[in-house]
């Protein structure tokens, strides 16, 4: 079974939702037969690469909140994260363009290191004092190497703005086709969708239902046409 997760590194509920989903997956009896794929979704695709703001400032401008409301929201998110065993800095974080992060996640997918990289990027964005957006490409190289990627390969991708760009945009189009207008958005075997950072119990129910509803392969014709198998190939007899 395949689970696709549309998310953005700048999305705190994606950070929390991933932990809740993984709690459910860890207890799922068929977890070794579940493939998890992370898909790209930019919450702020129009933001220029160099446009970095404090999170509180971004929240007040984008959602019309007061600073007190924005800070209260961050405190609530910090408590939700802590309940899942996650570190979360409620003050001093910043917000920027995540397109390059998504491009690197597609690179990591090719090398089987996608889950490692997304968790490291979440940690860097939500738990660490160093900015993910103001220290330049070498900060991203450092984090990608920690995830197991080759430094020179990462630098080459970051230096080429077209590398994996089509993959990021294709994920966004697919999210729209599936009806996702926010993240996190979980799709199980392209049959069931779960929107938001639901409790682990909801993910357990979704995994169980999706697994149970998998349909066996329906043969259009099993009338004995020639085929090859473990014992060799059938040879027509005259």
4-55 pLDDT, tens digit each: 999 999 999 999 999 999 999 999 999 999 999 999 999 999 999 999 999 9
The band of 232, judged by pLDDT with boundaries at 50, 70 and 90, is low
Taking phi first (over 0 means left), then psi (-120 to 50 degrees means alpha), and beta for anything else, what does residue 186 get?
A: beta
Ramachandran angles phi, psi of 141, nearest 5°: -60, -45
- pLDDT at residue 228 in the model: 63
Q: How confident is the model at residue 213 (pLDDT cuts 50, 70, 90)?
A: confident
pLDDT tens sequence across 75-113: 999 999 999 999 999 999 999 999 999 999 999 999 999
What would the pLDDT profile of 139-193 be if each residue is shown by its tens digit?
Answer: 999 999 999 999 999 999 999 999 999 999 999 999 999 999 899 999 999 999 9
The pTM assigned to this predicted structure is: 0.89
Residue-wise over 156-169: b if at least 16 C-beta within 10 A, else e? Answer: ebbeeeebbeebbe
Rounded to the nearest integer, the mean pLDDT of the chain is 93
């Amino acid at each position: 079974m395949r689970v696709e997760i549309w998310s953005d590194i700048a999305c705190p509920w994606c950070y929390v939702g991933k932990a809740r989903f993984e709690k459910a997956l860890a207890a799922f009896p068929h977890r070794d037969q579940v493939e998890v794929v992370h898909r790209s979704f930019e919450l702020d695709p129009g933001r220029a690469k160099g446009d970095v703001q404090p999170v509180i400032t971004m929240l007040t401008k984008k959602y019309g909140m007061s600073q007190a409301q924005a800070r209260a929201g961050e405190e609530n998110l910090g408590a939700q994260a802590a309940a899942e065993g996650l570190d979360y800095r409620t003050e001093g974080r910043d917000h920027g363009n995540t397109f390059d992060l998504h491009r690197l996640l597609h690179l990591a997918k090719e090398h089987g290191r996608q889950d490692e990289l997304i968790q490291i990027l979440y940690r860097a964005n939500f738990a660490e004092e160093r900015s993910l957006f103001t220290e330049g490409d070498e900060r991203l190289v450092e984090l990608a190497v920690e995830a197991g990627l080759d430094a020179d390969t990462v630098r080459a991708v970051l230096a080429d703005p077209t590398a994996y760009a089509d993959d990021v945009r294709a994920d966004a189009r697919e999210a729209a086709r599936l009806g996702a207008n926010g993240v996190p958005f979980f799709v199980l075997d392209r049959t069931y969708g779960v929107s938001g950072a639901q409790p682990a119990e909801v993910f357990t129910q979704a995994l169980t239902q999706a697994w149970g509803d998998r349909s066996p392969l329906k043969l259009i014709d099993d009338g004995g046409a020639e085929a090859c198998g473990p014992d060799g190939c059938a040879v027509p007899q005259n």
